[in-house]
Structure 1
């Protein structure tokens, strides 16, 4: 189900909006014009449906702070930041007028000289981040952006820039709080296993990128972070079609060493050795060619605005369409993975887009034990506050549970809205949440601390009635809290999820 698009905003702060460049799970990026500096810019705005999630909001703002720490032509620059009238933060950034590396690879491969040029520039950007004690944690083709420049000889060239630090963390924070995230085929094994990443995790991802650009194929095709945590033997770099000196193979194997202690100390060391190993193949070749843009209408900023848009209220930003951000992890079977489908068959969908803040307060319900409570839209009036018996709790007393939905059968009809909150036994957050094959996309599991508790959250989009949210949290030494929400929109799901409280556990 697609989300209806509201009109494009005329302005974002002082910036005149031209068109939408793209949308992801957490933000929308707009091409805009800085009339004071007479220059096109990219304005990244937090998605409306995540504006009330303080964790996501904090990560969004941190991205701007991390980028501002770095002064490098190979890191996307942040020029300005602010808040819209509705409170959503935005970042004003470099406009990458020539798209991303992922765009380029969909059209054609790179020569060896071009591949080395991209790796060299991306490596320079990563080293600049590391020098400021920032680890990127999500290096991949989609996060390598290109900007057209003119060389000293007057030739058009592309400059590669590292962008999208949505997963970035200061190195000193990573030792205290680890969020398991990243793209499985590019993430370092220790990061996929939930260990605190350091700069060598980015080096591993860059080595994966180098392997892809040089050979035309990724070294691994991990379907999930579980497989990424334990990669198998590295495939041979050389093939009958593409032959490389043994030194190239040695550099890539060291950069892709599963044990980070065996990798290079820095990204610069890796890039330097790769340059030396490839020198017989690239001597005399241009570093980069002037590639033709994939779609000139998308990449060109257009003429300068002749005047500022007229007055009147600023139209609301459209909600970004959900996009796939990775598959749910195939993880070991645990109680809730099997119990979920029995208790709440199918995916979850629903929401209350019509109800706005400031209207009738959301009613709050509490289970009969008084341990669980949740606030929901007023249309969710069917309540079951009795306990339940998880499959792995045979012989024990019932555990607290609370179900609130649009109807008594909301959990099984596949389209009604509702929320199920329950306690179950367990001494660690399970590695698998209930799967929802009826949904179009599955967000990557996000592991973090919420109010001091270890949690895993997965968001499914494109479900029969909207979105599904699964969260499991460790709320006591031997107790877990399971929350499953079916909602028509992200905003409702986020609001309901934030309202869940426990006591006496």
Structure 2
């Protein structure tokens, strides 16, 4: 498929994906200086007035709801050939389908994620809308200053509940689609989405990636109370399910809480735990898409804290020395979880950390520590997984900095970021693989790269 140079006023960067009814491109908004996703009706459907109206209905619906848990619409337009397009907020953290393809998500994190998806579907239900096609590909992640957002996307099959009844067209994805959606005379309501949420739960918590629709055996660590919630959600008869997404989410939360073993603790310790949990909720996670589509959980902040030297920043066991004029932000590597189910540590440092991901003129670096990556590959293997096909690669070099043997690859690019550096090494003491992606300041060379690597410490 040939990439268009522009769609309306937006410069097209690359293809994000294709579907039965539409193609999605990554574009650049010159007015807001930001990336957007542009969804264009497929050429073979633009003469079908029914499909065209459904496409526009999705954009109108999302614009009307305008909720942080749903993909937001910025504008709509029309190509010279008459095909409509919708300009959407770019989900820079990818989809749940992508994350599941990378490996199973730890049970505690999977339960939290399922609850967040249900909260997004509950927004639709509160406004009298049923989605009808809840799949991993329709769950997206977007970074924000407040943390990584879980977004419900692709409402092209959604209907107002008043219209989602008799003689509607069959719609949905096999395996996630409620049984009644196979019956053209059935009433399709919020309980169809509850079925989809239950199937998503089985996919997230299943022992293996079984084909959609197959009976799933839940992983060790999934409590019987949670299994009971999923069984009810996926009942064959709608009357046997939770009435809507909000009820499903409440039941899931109750089941998760009931399944956690409790023991008496002193009042002071319990207050301390609550304070730590509140702090973690405030911090959140920020998915940060970079040239290599890396994501980082982050919080705002810079400078030194108690016990940390000025000009440094820490994320868990990782501490970095900041180049002059640089700041840092970060608490976790979105999509990468340790054995305890928590995000693995990561941070971003740059003169402008929150602009680095979207502005190719801003230098900066991502630093992450991952035991899970170290368990599956070597530093050289991980760097090799990060090619930049449109850039010229210099020979890979090896350097020892800060007690770490680094594998370093440098790329010179004609478009976007002029220089990209990928580096990886094993942290002392078997703590994991340290990964650094760096866009150095203009005019800097190997000395800057090595100095930055030398300032990375794992304690």
Alpha-carbon displacement from aligned partner over 1:99-132 (angstroms, at most 9, x marks no partner): 1000000001112222122212211111111112
Take 1:289 and 1:301, find their aligned partners in 2: how far apart are those partners?
A: 15
- The equivalent residue for 2:206 is 215
Report the alpha carbon displacement of residue 196 of structure 1 after superposing the two structures with TM: 2.8
Equivalent residue for 1:296, pick from 292, 295, 299: 292
- The equivalent residue for 1:30 is 25
Alpha-carbon displacement from aligned partner over 1:215-255 (angstroms, at most 9, x marks no partner): 344687448xxxxxxxxxx6664xxx504333212211111
Equivalent residue for 1:259, pick from 208, 229, 237: 237
Equivalent residue for 2:153, pick from 163, 176, 194: 163
Residue 123 (str. 1) matches residue 118 (str. 2): yes
- Shift >3 Å, 4+ stretches: 216-223, 234-237, 280-295, 297-306
Take 1:119 and 1:294, find their aligned partners in 2: how far apart are those partners?
A: 26
- The equivalent residue for 1:98 is 93
Residue 192 (str. 1) matches residue 187 (str. 2): no
Q: Is the 8 A contact 1:115 1:213 kept in 2?
A: yes
Equivalent residue for 1:204, pick from 186, 191, 195: 195
Q: Is the 8 A contact 2:290 2:358 kept in 1?
A: no
Report the alpha carbon displacement of residue 303 of structure 1 after superposing the two structures with TM: 3.7
Equivalent residue for 1:269, pick from 241, 244, 247: 247
Query: What is the SS of the residue equivalent to 2:93?
Result: coil
Q: TM-score, structure 1 length as denominator?
A: 0.51
- The equivalent residue for 1:83 is 78
Query: What is the SS of the residue equivalent to 2:65?
Result: coil
- The equivalent residue for 2:50 is 55
Query: What is the SS of the residue equivalent to 1:81?
Result: strand
Q: Cα RMSD (Å) of the superposition? A: 3.0
Take 1:305 and 1:290, find their aligned partners in 2: how far apart are those partners?
A: 21
Equivalent residues in 2 for 1:352-363, closer than 5 Å: none
Report the alpha carbon displacement of residue 59 of structure 1 after superposing the two structures with TM: 1.4
Question: Structure 1: which 5+ runs fail to align?
Answer: 152-156, 224-233, 307-505
Equivalent residues in 2 for 1:100-499, closer than 5 Å: 100-151=95-146, 157-194=147-184, 195-217=186-208, 221-222=212-213, 237=218, 242-279=220-257, 280-281=259-260, 296=292, 303=359
- The equivalent residue for 1:496 is none
Question: Structure 2: which 5+ runs fail to align?
Answer: 263-272, 296-355, 363-459
Report the alpha carbon displacement of residue 149 of structure 1 after superposing the two structures with TM: 2.9
Take 1:292 and 1:282, find their aligned partners in 2: how far apart are those partners?
A: 35
Q: Is the 8 A contact 2:194 2:248 kept in 1?
A: yes
The change in CA–CA distance for 1:36 and 1:291 in structure 2 (over 3 A counts) is closer
Q: Is the 8 A contact 1:208 1:219 kept in 2?
A: no
The total of aligned residue pairs comes to 283
Report the alpha carbon displacement of residue 83 of structure 1 after superposing the two structures with TM: 0.9
Q: Is the 8 A contact 1:75 1:163 kept in 2?
A: yes
